[in-house]
Structure 1
Amino acid sequence: MTHEENLKTPEDTPSSKVDDGQKSKTRRWLGYAIGVAVFALALYLLYRALSRYDWPELVAAVTAVSGAHMLAALGFAALSYLTLTGFDWLALRYVNRPLAYRKVALASFTSLSIGHSLGLAALSSGAIRYRYYSRWGLARADIAKLIVFCGVTVGLGLAILGGAALLVAPEIAINALGLSPAVARLIALVTLACPVVYLLMAAFATGAIKIRGHRLEMPKLRLAVAQCVIGPVNFAFVAAALHQTVLSVAEISYFPIVAAYVSANVATIVSHVPGGLGVIEAVLTYLLPGEGLIGAILVFRFVYFLIPLCIGLVVLGSSELFFARVRPSRVNRDQSA
């Protein structure tokens, strides 16, 4: 046996290379199966969303919204998805695994454009995030922390924007829920106090915090501040997109729409209904009765859910094909080395 043969490690043997190739092929086919399952479920939900309406209703709802309001709604929706990439960008710094922005944007848009319609965001968008970030070297623990960080950013955004809207436009809670002005104000202040407590914990907490047996590592203060800025900005853009479609059928100011949408969003998260189908309509028409908002909400669904869903499916399929071509070539190079 030569000196070079003695230096070979078990990983260098032909059998280990075959095993690596077999594992790579298994992971690739598993990825195909996951991609097909997500694609099929998304198409079903798309059909389910559209089948609730007759074709004349769809045409009438879309044509009732002026071109200017439609373009504005599309612009605000695009700004929301652009802002959402900041959630992942901050989360990657939280886990000390920063990536190039183009990768962050790809993973964020694909996972959220599909996850918003699939529901159960922690599972649907989380699974798609895992597909991307695991390819780029993140461990499972890091991806789990990233998903939790993004979820906290969502909660902070809802709390800050919802509390502010409740202070500015308390008539939603007063009229629809029968609350007194004092109680509505108290709820707003308690809601706004939650982000303040979060910032104080980020500033002064040392080490991890245990919540029901789970360890939560607080982010650095600058990341927590960034969360408290970018979270409400995202929902402000979403509410602005909805407001633009509503303006075509009713003269309602912005903050009542914000308060109603935040309430509808919370109901959607609690119910886990895919895309909030029926939930958003029910909550908004209850909080803003007599305004004939169904057509405007339907157009909002097109703008914020269905159009991004279609784009996200195309991007997911294209990226899966790209990674499927790249990985075998890398495996072949490794085996021939």
Structure 2
Amino acid sequence: MAQSSQATPHTGAERTVKKSAAHKAAHGWRQRAWWPWLMRFLKIAFFAIVTYLIVKHARTIEWGEVLNTLKERSLLALWPALVLALCSHSLYGCFDLLGRYLMKHSLRVWQVVSVTMISYAFNLNFGSLVGGVAFRYRLYSRLGLDASTITRVVATSMATNWLGYMLVAGLLFWFRPLSLPPSWAMDTAELHLLGLPLVGVVCLYLVLCALRGGKTLSFRGHEMTFPSLPFGLLQIVMSTANWMIMGVVIYVLLEQKIAYVDVLSVLLIAAIAGVITHVPAGLGVIEAVFVALLSHRMPSSELLAGLLLYRTFYYFIPLGLATIAYLVMEVGAKRESAGQSTGGH
């Protein structure tokens, strides 16, 4: 009887623990079950909308007019856009230097900038998994960095890029929301409200840098180490400048016929549309978003002519240069490897 009376509370406790564990497991399963499906639905819906815009506007475009517009453009007037595009690529090439500072690895500045610029050009044209990740891992590992160091460098660079994006987009949407076409059901006020949470995320990041700089913060099993406040500010300044230069490139190629802040706003919307739809190089996505949002202010043929030049200057020419640089690095690495092998014998 004594054993029975002692076993009863133990059994009840076990049942309570089992029920609690089962409840948590069921709750966790529900959380894991609906969230991926929701994100998948949103991505499919967004992709469907963008596809509809591409098809709708592609059917109405007179490509002959686009070609005529391109022929009328002055080559002399295009040089500033090309120079600005190369400046943007060079600035982005410095993003990995921030990771170099944090990780204190021994690669030289020119090596880091070269790897970043090559990866960025391939990232733009083939997607982040190919350019932003695969090329960085291959090139950095060839130069002697280990996987964990490369991961930290890539993560720092990506965070830098999107911090600047959120600040620029948030400020533009809040203080100067884009005037949407009359046919759109979405009101300007709704776009205006998107600005506040974007700026809020950047402010939160800076607060955490100020309070927890150099310390590790655990959140739901994930550990994050925040840099110092000056470092965080530098990240935002560099990225903000880069996004703004990209906007200037398109502004120049559209012959300053649309306000710069509106061009920049549409570029930011097109950038996130390209990321969500996973279309390599945002091919057709950028054009569709620009035509959909700005064709009521500027003829579609002129818009597309400017965007084709933008693709040439910001995507294709840097890709050609990056391909040559990548081949040179590969040949150099093979020669060095062969030399070490010969020296070993």
TM-score bucket of the superposed structures, by smaller chain:
0.7 to 0.9
2:259 maps to 253
Of the three residues 318, 324, 335, the one matched with 1:325 is: 335
Secondary structure, counterpart of 1:171 in structure 2: coil
- Which of 131, 136, 141 aligns to 1:134? It is 141
Structure 2 counterpart of 1:213: 221
Amino acid at match of 2:97: W
Is 1:222 aligned to 2:208, yes or no?
no
How far did 1:174 drift? 8.3
Separation in structure 2 between the aligned mates of residue 299 and residue 190 of structure 1, nearest angstrom: 34
Question: Which residue in the other structure is 1:66 paired with?
Answer: 74
Q: What residue number does 1:241 align with?
A: 249
8 Å contact kept, 1:157–1:230: yes
Match of 2:166 in 1: 159
Task: State which drifts further: 231-240 or 130-139.
Answer: 130-139
Is there any run of 5+ residues in structure 2 with no aligned partner, and where? Answer: 1-60
Relative distance call for 1:215 and 1:61 in structure 2 (3 A) is farther
Alignment of 1:314 with 2:321, yes or no, is no
Picking from 279, 285, 291, the partner of 2:285 is 279
Deviation at 1:58, TM superposition (A): 7.6
| Amino acid in structure 1 at the alignment position of 2:290 | L
Aligned residue in 1 for 2:123: 115
Judged with a 3 Å threshold, the aligned counterparts in structure 2 of structure 1 residues 98 and 169 are, in CA distance, closer, same or farther, namely: farther
The correspondence for 1:199, drawn from 164, 185, 206, is 206
Name the TM-score, length of structure 2 as normaliser. 0.74
Equivalenced residues, count = 279
**In structure 2, do the counterparts of structure 1 residues 89 and 64 end up closer, same or farther at CA, with 3 Å as the change threshold?**
farther
Q: For the residues of structure 2 that align with 1:185 and 1:233, how far apart are their CA atoms?
A: 22
RMSD (Å) for aligned C-alpha atoms? 2.4
The SS at the match of 1:209 is strand
| 1:145-184 aligned within 5 A | 145-172=152-179, 176=184, 178-181=186-189, 183-184=190-191
On the 8 A contact 1:268/1:279 being kept in 2, the answer is yes
Aligned mates of 2:132, 2:178 — CA distance in 1: 35
Partner Cα separation in structure 2 for residue 174 and residue 199 of structure 1: 36
Q: Structure 1 239/322 Cα, relative in aligned 2: closer, same or farther at 3 Å? A: same
Provide closer, same or farther for how the CA distance between residues 86 and 173 of structure 1 changes in structure 2, counting only shifts above 3 A: farther
Q: State the distance in 2 between where 1:101 and 1:125 align.
A: 18
In structure 2, what is the Cα distance between the partners aligned to 1:70 and 1:64?
12
Correspondence list, 1:50-129, <5 A: 60-97=68-105, 99-119=107-127, 121-129=128-136
Letter in 1 for 2:326: L
Matched AA of 2:73: V
Query: Residues 327 and 203 (structure 1 numbering): CA distance in 2 closer, same or farther, change over 3 Å?
Result: same
State whether structure 2 residue 308 is matched by structure 1 residue 301: no
Distance across 1 between alignment mates of 2:220 and 2:286:
31
Give the letter for the 2:94 counterpart: G
Post-superposition CA distance 1:114-151 (Å, at most 9, x none): 111001x1443211111221122221011111111111
Counterpart-to-counterpart distance in 2, 1:180 and 1:280: 21
Between the aligned residues of both structures, percent identity stands at 24
How far the C-alpha of 1:309 sits from its partner, in A, is 0.8
Greater length-normalized contact order (CA 8 Å, ≥ 6 residues apart): 1
Structure 1 stretches lacking a partner, 5+ long = 1-52
Higher Cα radius of gyration:
2
The SS at the match of 1:172 is coil
Letter aligned with residue 240 of structure 2:
P
| SS, match of residue 179 in structure 2 | helix
- Residue 193 of structure 2 corresponds to which residue in structure 1? 186
- More off after superposition, 314-323 vs 121-130: 121-130
Deviation of residue 233 (structure 1)? 0.7
Q: Is the 8 A contact 1:61 1:296 kept in 2?
A: no
Q: Could you say what secondary structure the match of 1:216 adopts?
A: strand
Q: Give the Cα–Cα distance (whole angstroms) in 2 for the partners of residues 276 and 134 of structure 1.
A: 28
